[in-house]
Amino acid sequence: MTPKNHPRYESLLLREKIKDAYKEGYLSDSGMIAHGRGETFDYLLGEKTTESSRIAIDVSVAKLLLAENPVISINGNTTALVIDEIIQLAKLIPAKIEINLFYRNEKRIDTIENILNKKGYDNVLGTNKDELLYIKDIKNPRATASKNGIYSSDLILIPLEDGDRTEILVDSGKEVIAIDLNPLSRTSKKANITIVDNIIRVIPLMIEITKKFRSYNKEKLKDIIKDFSNKDNLKESLKCIDLNRI
Amino acid sequence: MTPKNHPRYESLLLREKIKDAYKEGYLSDSGMIAHGRGETFDYLLGEKTTESSRIAIDVSVAKLLLAENPVISINGNTTALVIDEIIQLAKLIPAKIEINLFYRNEKRIDTIENILNKKGYDNVLGTNKDELLYIKDIKNPRATASKNGIYSSDLILIPLEDGDRTEILVDSGKEVIAIDLNPLSRTSKKANITIVDNIIRVIPLMIEITKKFRSYNKEKLKDIIKDFSNKDNLKESLKCIDLNRI
């Protein structure tokens, strides 16, 4: 459908994946609007991995390799765009995968679970069969988490998460790595590490770096983390939005 | 559903209107993603009418009052967000209204036509019964226009239009006023006048200004237009994106 010479070809291909996911019933209408918001930030950032994103990715991988019980949170958008890569990354770290939807409903959860199962990944958490608890006893649908997953994890990777949820996770004492194209969002500001970049570039790069870092000892991994300031890194990301370049 | 104290309350209300329009079948999935792109730009612009937008609106109203056969083009997003105001503006100028969809299909056209009819507006153009011609003989679905509307008009107001369509209109010698939140888009650059602002603020303001300007004589209206440079105005809009304010 989309001609290869269209100035926005790559971006239009992603848009098709998002629309397909909506038609398949596992991505919400809000997920489509959210994709549009992300598109604009990606466009303003030059649709490439910046130096500050690269630094945040290195720190994130080191953190994931050092964590006791790391969990990767997925939603409709993540599933639509990078599910194969998420599975690969989860196996390499190793980390658990938990479905975590802002608009949770049984059908959507089942559809995502089936997608993972068909890809040979059977241990996904946060399904309809899974035991869900409220984080810090906050009786809010934004605060549910799988008992053996996010609820008991020390580090969570949240690609494309909303601000309320991120706040609950961070305030409950968990470490949070966010992937968010908006360097100004509540999620970006609240997370311990924020990768300001597009998940379609980030997850493949995390896989590559995990392959390199997993032979490092703990001291070396801690060394990679030690000087990182999320606040400073966000400022650097913000500087990459160059309106006069476009 | 949306709590009034939510930091993004106004923006979430608009999002609900867009989702409803999708459910009612007259807004495309692409229209939802496009809304998300607009949201980001609006947020970066401070969600207010800037001085440069205000100038472009004045010039646009003067142009509309001077035009021989002005047409306001509407699509799913415009209908969802400001259809009452569009009808009011069209009657005041007076200008015609033409339905013009990027993803044209009969059902969507009929639904929008019915919405206008129910509001007592019966003369809408670009319907399934209307005679459509190709602008400049370009045999492209982007180039269709109603014989008595856009095809024969001298000035077209296009809120939320795509780049291809804008190029065809401008290259065919028509004057084009665009309303576009992205000051860097092809539409913004190609249009004769670009209002970089949100249609939910622009159309009510255009109504107000039309009421004031319609008593002016031609000389006075021409005076309002004469020093306007779209290129300079776009530069001023771009300066209003202040990332350090947010």
Backbone dihedral angles phi then psi of residue A156, each to the nearest 5 degrees:
-125, 130
pLDDT at residue A241, rounded to an integer: 87
Residue B152 near residue B69, CB atoms below 8 Å: yes
For B46-56, give one letter per residue: b (16+ CB within 10 A) or e. Answer: ebebbebbebb
Band (A16; pLDDT cuts 50, 70, 90) = very high
pLDDT at residue A245, rounded to an integer: 65
Q: Does the beta carbon of A2 lie under 8 angstroms from any beta carbon of chain B? A: no
Kindly report, residue by residue over A128-164, the tens digit of the pLDDT: 888 888 887 777 777 788 899 999 999 999 998 888 8
Residues of A in contact with B41 (CB under 8 A): 40
Number of H helices, E strands in chain B: 10, 7
Give the separation between CA B100 and CA B123, rounded to whole angstroms.
Answer: 14
Give the separation between CA A132 and CA A130, rounded to whole angstroms.
Answer: 6
Asked if the Cβ–Cβ distance from B30 to A38 is below 8 Å, we say: no
How far is residue B33 from each of residues A29, A169, B29, B225, measured CA to CA in Å?
9, 28, 7, 34
User: Residue A123's Cα: distance from chain center in Å?
Assistant: 18
pLDDT at A242 over 90: no
Short-list B38, B8, B35, CA closest to B21:
B35
pLDDT at residue B2, rounded to an integer: 63
Q: Minimum mean pLDDT among A35-39, A62-66, A165-169: which range?
A: A165-169
ipTM surpasses 0.85: yes
Short-list B169, B219, B221, CA closest to B61:
B221
**Region of residue A25 (phi > 0: left; psi between -120 and 50: alpha; otherwise: beta):** left
- What percent of chain A is modeled with pLDDT above 70? 97
pLDDT at residue A95, rounded to an integer: 97
Kindly report, residue by residue over A29-58, the tens digit of the pLDDT: 999 999 999 999 999 999 999 999 999 999
Tell me the pTM. 0.90
B22, B40, B244: residue with CB nearest A29:
B22
Classified as helix, coil or strand, A191 is coil
Give the separation between CA B81 and CA B166, rounded to whole angstroms.
Answer: 21
Residues of B in contact with A241 (CB under 8 A): 243
Kind of pairing, strands B193-195 and B175-179? parallel
Residues of A in contact with B246 (CB under 8 A): 184
Give the separation between CA B116 and CA B242, rounded to whole angstroms.
Answer: 38
Give the separation between CA B246 and CA B243, rounded to whole angstroms.
Answer: 6
Interface of B with A in 180-239 (CB under 8 A): 182, 184, 238
What is the number of other CB atoms lying within 10 angstroms of the CB of residue A3? Answer: 7
Give the separation between CA B217 and CA B32, rounded to whole angstroms.
Answer: 42
**Which structural domains are found in chain A, ordered by start?**
51-245 (3.40.50.12640)
Q: Minimum mean pLDDT among A100-104, A203-207, A238-242, B167-171: which range?
A: A100-104
Kind of pairing, strands B70-74 and B96-99? parallel
B23, B36, B246: residue with CB nearest A33:
B36
Asked if the Cβ–Cβ distance from B18 to A34 is below 8 Å, we say: no
Q: Which amino acid is at A138?
A: I
Polymer length of chain B: 246
pLDDT at residue B37, rounded to an integer: 93
pLDDT at A4 over 80: no
Give the separation between CA A241 and CA A245, rounded to whole angstroms.
Answer: 9
Short-list B197, B241, B244, B246, CA closest to B60:
B197
Asked if the Cβ–Cβ distance from B184 to A40 is below 8 Å, we say: no
B32, B33, B184: residue with CB nearest A246:
B184
Residues of A in contact with B22 (CB under 8 A): 29
Per-residue pLDDT of chain B (246 residues; tens, 9 = 90+): 566 776 678 888 999 999 999 999 999 999 999 999 999 999 999 999 999 999 999 999 999 999 999 999 999 999 999 999 999 999 999 999 999 987 788 999 999 999 999 999 999 999 988 888 888 777 777 778 889 999 999 999 999 888 888 998 999 999 999 999 999 999 999 999 999 999 999 999 999 999 999 999 999 999 999 999 999 999 999 998 877 766
B19, B36, B244: residue with CB nearest A35:
B36
Residue A82 near residue A199, CB atoms below 8 Å: yes
> CA-nearest residue of chain A to B32?
A33
Block residue for tokens 């924020």? A194
pLDDT at residue B81, rounded to an integer: 96
Q: Which amino acid is at B219?
A: E
Minimal CA separation from B91 to chain A, in Å: 32
